[in-house]
C-alpha cells in the first residue's frame, strides 16, 4: 500500500482508493509516496522501487521473447 | 493499480512457462509452497495449467489458523466464559472448530468475542474499557508476531494490566525442518514465504540448502513472481545445486527487518509448541518472556482446559504435511464446506481446503 500521509509513527496508507491507518514504528526512513507491506496494522517492509523495476524489466524482456516465439 | 498489473502480464507468464519446461525437461520435481498466500496465487491464476506436467506443487503448513491446535481454541473458549473477559481475535479464527464449539458459536450464545484487524485495536479496547479484561488471541508466524510483540510492549509501558495475549505464535523454519527430516513427503525444493522473509531475512533457510540439499527460493505473491521462483528452482535442480535464492527482492532483503526482529527477541522466548497435524515441534513457538508475564493470558487466568479432540475423519493434518490433498478427504465439499467447516483448513482464506473449494471443487 502507498503511504499518503505520516503523523509521527502513524501513517495513512492507500490501495485502490481504500485508506487505512498503519503503524510505521517498525520501518525506517519512510516517506509519503513509499510503498509498504502492511500486516495486521503494522508496516513490516518498505518496497525497494529499484528492485521492483529490475524485476519488471526482466519480465518485460521475457514477455518480448514470448511474443516473438508466438509469431514464429 | 501500480506494481500489481505489471506482475500479471500474460506474455511474460507464457515465456516463463516455456523457460520452466526447458529447465525441467520431462523430469518430475516436487516443490512445496509453505505459505497459504502462495497456494491462493497458484489456484487463482491457474498456474497449474501453465506448468509442465512434471512440476508438482504441494501445499504446506503455512496457514497460521490451520496449524493452530484444537487445545488453543478450547482454551480461548474457556476464557470467554469467565466473567468480565472480552476475547479479541483476527476474524479468521472465529469459525475454526474446537473440540465441541467455536468462537463464533460462543459469541452467538452471548460471550463477548470481538473481531480485530490488528492487535492495536484490541489494545484500544483495553484503554477505553478498563473494567474489562481484554484477551487477544495471538496466532501467526514471524510476519504477525512482531506486531503482537509491539502491542504487548505498549500495554506494558502504559501499565494496561487488563490487556493480555493468549499466544500460539510459531516460527516457520522449525516446521520446514520437521517436514524434510520426517521424510514422509518427498520435497525437492521449497518456495519460501515472502512476508515471513521480510522479517527474518534469508539466513533462516540456509540449513535446508546446506544440510538437506534442498533448494529454497523466496517468492513474491503475484503470478509472475511465482513462475520466476519456480524457474529459479528448476534451474538449481537441473544444475544439481541447492542454494537459498531470492526472487522477492523488492520486498524481502537478505537481512530482513532488524527492528522487527529486535522486538521479537525482547518480548518473546522460544518454546515448544503443538502444531495441528504435525505434533509438538521443539523450539518452534514464541512464548511471552517473563519480563512481560503480566500480559500472558495463559498465566493470568487459572483455568483447566479439558483434553481436546478432533473430528475423526478430518485429514487436515495430512494435508498440511503435504501427504494428501483435499480431494482425498471424504468430508471435502460434502460434510465440510466454508459455511460449515469441520477442519481448520476449510476456514481460513489461506487454508488449502478453502482454496481448493473455491478454485478446484469437483463438479
pLDDT score, position A7: 95
Edge-to-edge, what's the strand order for the sheet holding B85-89? B113-115, B85-89, B133-140, B163-170, B279-288, B268-275
Q: Do A59 and B6 touch (CB under 8 A)?
A: yes
Calculate mean pLDDT across residues B170-185. 89
| B198: nearest Cα among B255, B263, B244 | B255
Residue from the list A41, A47, A60 with its beta carbon closest to the beta carbon of B250: A47
Domain ranges in chain A are 2-71
Residue B119 contacts residue B136 (beta carbons within 8 Å): yes
Chain Cα centroid distance, residue B7: 24
Contact between B260 and A44 using a beta-carbon 8 Å cutoff? yes
Does 2.30.30.140 match the CATH number of domain A2-71?
yes
Q: What is the rounded distance in angstroms from the CA atom of residue A19 to the CA atom of residue A41? A: 12
Q: Which domains does chain B possess?
A: 5-55+187-246 (3.40.50.11750), 70-172+256-300 (3.40.50.11740), 316-359 (no CATH)
Asked if B90 reaches chain A (Cβ–Cβ under 8 Å), the answer is: yes
Which residues does B12 contact at the CB level (< 8 Å), separation at least 6? A59, A60, A62, A63, A66, B224
**Whether A16 and B1 lie within 8 Å, measured CB to CB:** yes
Q: Which position has the grid cell 520466476? A: B228
Q: What are the grid coordinates assigned to A56, written together?
A: 519488471
Phi, psi dihedrals of residue B71, rounded to the nearest 5°: -55, -35
What pLDDT sits at residue A16? 86
Q: Which residues, at least 6 apart from B3, have a Cβ–Cβ distance to it below 8 Å? A: A35, A47, A52
Inter-chain touch A39–B14, beta carbons under 8 Å: no
Mean pLDDT of chain B: 94
The predicted structure's pLDDT at residue B1: 60
Among partner residues A2, A37, A70, which is closest to B251 by beta-carbon distance? A37
B248 closest CA partner among A47, A13, A34: A47
Q: Provide the 10 A C-beta neighbour count for residue B265.
A: 11
Best probe of the A interface among B2, B251, B255, B265, by most A CBs < 10 A, is B251
Strands B29-35 and A42-46: unpaired
What SS3 string covers chain A? Answer: CEEEEEECCEEEEEECCEEEEEECCCCCCCCCCCEEEEECCEEEEECCHHHHHHHHHHHHHHHHHHHHHHHC
3-state secondary structure of B228: helix
Q: Which helix (H) or strand (E) holds B38?
A: helix B36-44
In this prediction, residue B258 carries a pLDDT of 97
Q: Which one of A25, A55, A69 has the shortest CB-CB distance to B250? A: A55
pLDDT digits (tens, 9 = 90+) for B293-338: 999 999 999 998 988 888 889 998 899 888 899 999 999 999 999 9
pLDDT > 70? residue A5? yes
Length of chain A: 72
* CB proximity B9 to A under 8 Å: yes
B229 and B32 Cβ atoms separated by less than 8 Å: no
pLDDT value for B84:
97
8 A C-beta contact, residue A67 and residue B10? no
Compute CA B64 distance to the chain's CA centroid, rounded to the nearest angstrom: 3
Select the residue of A2, A41, A48 nearest B249 (Cβ to Cβ): A48
Per residue in B143-177, pLDDT (tens digit) is: 999 999 999 999 999 999 999 999 999 999 999 99
Quick one: average pLDDT of B264-268?
98
Closest CA to B257 of B203, B178, B319, B327: B203
pLDDT band at A71 (very low <50, low <70, confident <90, very high): low
What's the gap between Cα B176 and its chain centre? 12
The values of phi and psi at residue B288, to 5°, are -70, 130
Q: In this predicted model, what pLDDT tens digit does every residue of A57-68 receive, in sequence order? A: 999 999 988 777
Q: Which residues of B touch A70 (CB under 8 A)?
A: 11, 14
Task: Retrieve residue B303's grid coordinates.
Answer: 483455568
Assign A70 a pLDDT band (cuts: 50, 70, 90).
low
What's the pLDDT tens digit per position in A6-48? 999 999 999 988 999 999 999 998 999 999 999 999 999 999 9
Q: State the pLDDT at residue B350.
A: 85
Mean pLDDT value of segment B70-93: 96
> Which whole number is the average pLDDT over B242-267?
97
Q: Higher pLDDT residue, B215 or A29?
A: B215
CB atoms B18 and A66 under 8 Å:
yes
Q: Is B54 on the interface with A (CB under 8 A)?
A: no
Res. B13: pLDDT tops 70: yes
**Contact between residue B302 and residue B164 where contact means Cβ atoms under 8 Å apart:** no
Instruction: Give Cα B214 distance to the centre of its chain.
Output: 21
Amino acid at each position: 500500500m502507498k503511504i499518503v500521509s505520516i503523523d509521527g509513527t502513524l501513517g495513512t496508507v492507500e490501495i485502490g482508493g481504500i485508506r487505512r491507518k498503519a503503524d510505521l514504528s517498525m520501518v525506517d526512513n519512510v516517506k509519503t509516496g513509499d510503498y509498504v507491506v502492511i500486516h495486521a496494522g503494522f508496516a513490516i517492509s518498505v518496497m525497494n522501487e529499484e528492485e521492483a523495476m529490475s524485476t519488471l524489466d526482466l519480465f518485460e524482456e521475457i514477455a518480448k521473447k514470448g511474443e516473438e516465439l508466438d509469431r514464429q | 493499480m501500480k506494481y500489481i498489473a505489471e506482475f500479471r502480464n500474460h506474455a511474460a507468464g507464457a515465456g516463463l512457462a516455456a523457460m520452466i519446461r526447458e529447465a525441467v525437461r520431462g523430469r518430475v520435481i516436487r516443490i512445496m509452497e509453505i505459505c497459504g498466500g502462495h497456494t491462493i496465487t497458484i489456484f487463482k491464476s491457474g498456474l497449474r495449467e501453465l506448468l509442465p506436467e512434471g512440476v508438482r506443487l504441494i501445499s504446506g503448513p503455512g496457514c497460521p489458523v490451520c496449524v493452530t491446535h484444537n487445545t488453543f481454541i478450547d482454551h480461548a473458549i474457556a476464557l470467554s466464559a469467565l466473567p468480565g473477559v472480552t476475547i479479541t481475535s483476527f476474524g479468521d479464527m472465529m469459525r475454526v472448530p474446537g473440540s465441541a464449539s467455536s468462537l463464533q458459536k460462543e459469541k452467538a450464545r452471548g460471550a463477548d468475542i470481538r473481531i480485530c484487524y490488528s492487535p492495536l485495536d484490541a489494545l484500544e479496547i483495553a484503554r477505553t474499557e478498563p473494567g474489562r479484561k481484554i484477551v487477544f488471541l495471538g496466532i501467526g508466524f514471524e510476519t504477525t508476531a512482531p506486531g503482537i510483540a509491539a502491542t504487548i510492549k505498549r500495554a506494558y509501558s502504559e501499565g494496561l494490566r487488563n490487556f493480555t495475549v493468549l499466544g500460539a505464535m510459531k516460527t516457520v523454519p522449525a516446521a520446514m525442518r520437521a517436514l524434510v527430516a520426517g521424510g514422509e513427503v518427498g520435497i525437492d525444493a521449497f518456495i519460501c514465504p515472502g512476508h515471513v522473509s521480510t522479517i527474518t531475512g534469508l539466513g533462516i533457510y540456509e540449513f535446508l540448502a546446506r544440510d538437506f540439499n534442498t533448494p529454497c527460493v523466496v517468492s513474491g505473491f503475484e503470478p509472475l513472481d511465482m513462475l520466476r521462483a519456480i524457474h529459479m528452482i528448476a534451474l538449481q535442480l537441473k544444475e544439481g545445486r541447492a542454494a537459498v535464492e531470492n526472487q522477492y527482492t523488492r520486498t524481502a532483503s537478505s537481512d530482513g527487518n532488524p527492528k522487527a526482529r529486535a522486538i521479537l527477541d525482547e518480548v518473546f522466548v522460544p518454546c515448544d509448541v503443538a502444531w495441528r497435524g504435525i505434533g509438538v515441534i521443539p523450539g518452534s513457538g514464541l512464548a511471552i518472556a517473563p519480563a512481560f508475564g503480566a500480559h500472558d493470558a495463559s498465566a493470568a487466568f487459572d483455568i483447566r482446559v479439558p483434553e481436546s479432540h478432533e473430528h475423526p475423519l478430518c485429514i487436515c493434518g495430512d494435508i498440511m504435511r503435504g501427504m494428501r490433498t483435499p480431494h482425498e478427504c471424504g468430508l471435502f465439499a460434502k460434510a465440510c464446506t466454508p459455511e460449515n467447516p469441520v477442519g481448520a483448513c476449510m476456514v481460513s482464506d489461506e487454508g488449502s481446503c478453502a482454496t481448493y473449494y473455491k478454485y478446484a471443487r469437483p463438479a
